[in-house]
A and B are shown apart, each in its own frame.
Chain A
Amino acid sequence: MSETAIESARDEEPGAVTASYLVAGHTLKSWLTTTDHKRIGILYALAITVFFFIGGIAIGLVRLELMNPKGAILSDEGYNRLFSLHGIVMVWFFLVPSIPATLGNFLLPLMIGARDVAFPRLNLISWYIYAVGAAFTCYAIVAGGVDTGWTFYTPYSSLYSNSNVLAAALGVFIVGFSSIATGVNFITTTHMLRAPGMTWSRLPLMVWALYATSIVMVLATPVLAMSLLLIIAERYFGLPLFNPSEGGDPLLFQHLFWFYSHPAVYIMVLPAMGVVSEVFACFARRRVFGYIMMVYAIMAIAIVGFLVWGHHMFVSGESQYANVVFSFLSFAVAVPSAIKVFNWTATLHRGQVTFEAPMLYALGFLGLFTIGGLTGLFLASIPIDVHVTDTYFVVAHFHYIMVGGSVSAFFAGLHFWWPKITGRLYSEAWARFAAIVMFLGFNTTFLPQFIMGYGGMPRRYHVYPQEFQVYHVISSVGALILLSAYLLPLIYLGWSLLYGTRAGDNPWDATGLEWQTSSPPPKENFEEIPVVNAGPYHYHPAEEAPDAARREPQEAQGRKP
């Protein structure tokens, strides 16, 4: 990449480039009132980083506590509040908005050749909605925290819990609207604002993934909002909605909750799949194997994902028939995921792979997501789930998917598009090092949790039999390694912002419209709206004869609006 990078690097000569979005206004107000999707993406990135570390501090204390089987430093109450805080913050304020609201906001219009998202002001409003929801949740934290877990199960949350359920649930309720607004915006943008020639079958997989994610956000989030509203009605106004002593059915709450929260897993994982598809194609210098299958798989995951929520309730007393159906459907949803894994592997297998930092993170995703997915099959089969439900096996499983999968992919994307976003290069050596430490730290933390979970260590307990201590200690040491791996990027990426060399428009020699504009892009994204003549991922146009014939590069240049 070095030569092209230097050749195409643009200097700050006045007039050489249209002003980038970064310098279009320097005041704080110009950022807080911006309707530019790129700046809004950055606002989100800052906000979720704060929450990532809040959630991290909470779990740091939990892991410290768990080093000792007697539970030496925290009270029972304090422990419950800390892991609840960790879950609530990580899921609702970090993971759900992570890739879509940051990278997605930044990239979606660029990738389809649009000047902005369909409703730029709504986009800004959605960030403020996020901020208001966050404020409620922060209040709940400062006022002493919540102890319901991130799932707010009734009737505990609505009747018994003696903590700040109201503020926390309101925070999550509000932040949901920000997610819906983003979803509406992305869906409309993808339908209505694609550049000339950007047909559906030419969309990059990242765009497909964001599109599918948006559908899930739009259709699932309102159900969560409603179930939280019902908790608030029960808790605050005394309306008996899920109270069994009044004839109410707590299972109903779980159905409503998981109808959102299982698809929410796909809100976290689909964008991750989009990111790694782009990264694999670029660093294997190959078009993604089986593009059409990949698209179908994305949509299938989004749709079937709505039908499997009951696998969270195998032991809750739902009917045996329901259990069997949900178990079967859960296996079914594994099929498209497996297709994706196979197609990525095939892409890599046929490619000329190089190991830049984004690629290392993406490979980390592939490994960890596969382990998470396979253990998901264990959990989908009823007899095994009955054995390991509510143990650390589950904790390990969902961390492999959510943290090993989504967070690795988030870092892959961040590193891949960093030169586009900031116009700067970061230190490759440090980035590779961090990627490797992150992978090792992750496995040190969560592999032992599979073992102790299978051995019977229940989740959400801080006093436990001596025999599990060794696993807990390894896990806590792993968490420390992981923490340092999360801090490293903060340092070298920050350094790159200040001192990094200029990246040039396309340091990776990648395909995709976002790489055709300058880095960082001008406020209006493209000097002229590009015209698309070919499908995505033309890394070897010459070899792909039928497509090469269609491709007339730079034709777009001559076109005046």
Chain B
Amino acid sequence: MSDAPTLLHEPWPSLAREKEGVAFGLWTFLASEILFFAGLFLSYAVYRNLYPDAFRIASRETDILYGSINTAILLTSSFVMTIALHASELDRRRILASCLLVTAILGLAFLGVKGLEYADDIDKRLVPGPDFSLKPAATRLFFALYWVMTGVHAIHLAVGVGLVIYAGVQVQRRAIAAQSPAIEAISLYWHFVDSVWLILYALIYLPGRS
């Protein structure tokens, strides 16, 4: 076992049980998160159903290059995160810390690319408002949802980056053990946020491009 400080916390009777408990708790939380995003997906479904043409036109205005680069970045980050989890199970502290670092960098890269894309969108006047540039009125609904969905996702990702950095630093400093249940929890969360992006990618960039 590792020499790091106590792994086991109150009120858990054993470490194995605590690990199970943390994973269980996180899955429960993710169930909640799924319904959070489901509200957005439902709104999207309703409006796309009402205004299929407008959604196709609007979707063609999005920049699929940025979107695809970001998808690649997140898929890579998920892969690195899987290695991190493996390292945690094997109690390999150094590998774990570096994988967490790489994951965080990829996450920041995603946010950077997203920022560039947002800047372009603003240039192209794709923010619903008085000087919105697209024609059928319902394209505004698409872009309203675009901003909310990607914004909420970006906030989730930023929280993830914060958690990953925090965990990495704590592992490096030996303030938490490599085998801490927190690592599994963070990795689950990370994979979840990535999966949401895959759905968003399909909803935002693909309609109208065939």
Contacts and interface: CB of A to CB of B under 8 A. Distances in A.
A137 to B, nearest CB: 21
B105 interface: no
Given A184-B25, A239-B144, A241-B141, A218 B11 contact: no
Given A226-B36, A233-B148, A118 B50 contact: no
A14 to B, nearest CB: 25
A219 B35 contact: yes
A240 B144 contact: yes
A104 to B, nearest CB: 16
B25 A119 contact: yes
B120 interface: no
B98 to A, nearest CB: 28
Most buried by A among B10, B39, B42, B51: B39
A180 B51 CA distance: 34
B79 interface: no
Interface residues of A, number: 43
A389 interface: no
Most buried by A among B10, B17, B25, B50: B25
B51 A188 contact: no
A220 B21 CA distance: 22
B140 A240 contact: yes
Contact of A222 (B21, B39, B51, B143): B39
Interface stretch (A94-102, A244-252, A426-434): A244-252
Interface in A202-223: 218-223
A193 interface: yes
B137 interface: yes
B46 A118 contact: no
Q: Is the interface of B mostly helix, strand, loop or mixed?
A: helix
Contact of B28 (A35, A120, A184, A247): A184
Interface residues of B, number: 37
Contacts of A230: 39, 43, 148
Given A114-B11, A184-B29, A238-B129, A247 B24 contact: no
A473 interface: no
Contacts of A437: none
Nearest to A238: B129
Contact of B140 (A120, A222, A246): A246
Given A184-B29, A185-B25, A225-B36, A249 B144 contact: no
B4 interface: no
A184 B32 contact: yes
A93 B51 CA distance: 39
Interface in B126-181: 128-129, 137-138, 140-141, 143-145, 147-148, 152
Interface in A103-129: 109, 114-120
B44 to A, nearest CB: 11
A218 B148 contact: no
Contact of B39 (A114, A119, A193, A226): A226
24 contacts: A180-B32, A184-B28, A185-B25, A188-B21, A188-B25, A191-B24, A193-B21, A218-B31, A219-B35, A222-B36, A222-B38, A223-B36, A229-B152, A230-B148, A233-B144, A234-B144, A238-B129, A239-B148, A241-B144, A246-B128, A246-B137, A247-B50, A247-B137, A248-B141
Interface of A: 35, 109, 114-120, 180, 183-185, 187-188, 191-193, 218-223, 225-227, 229-230, 233-234, 237-241, 246-249, 252, 255-256
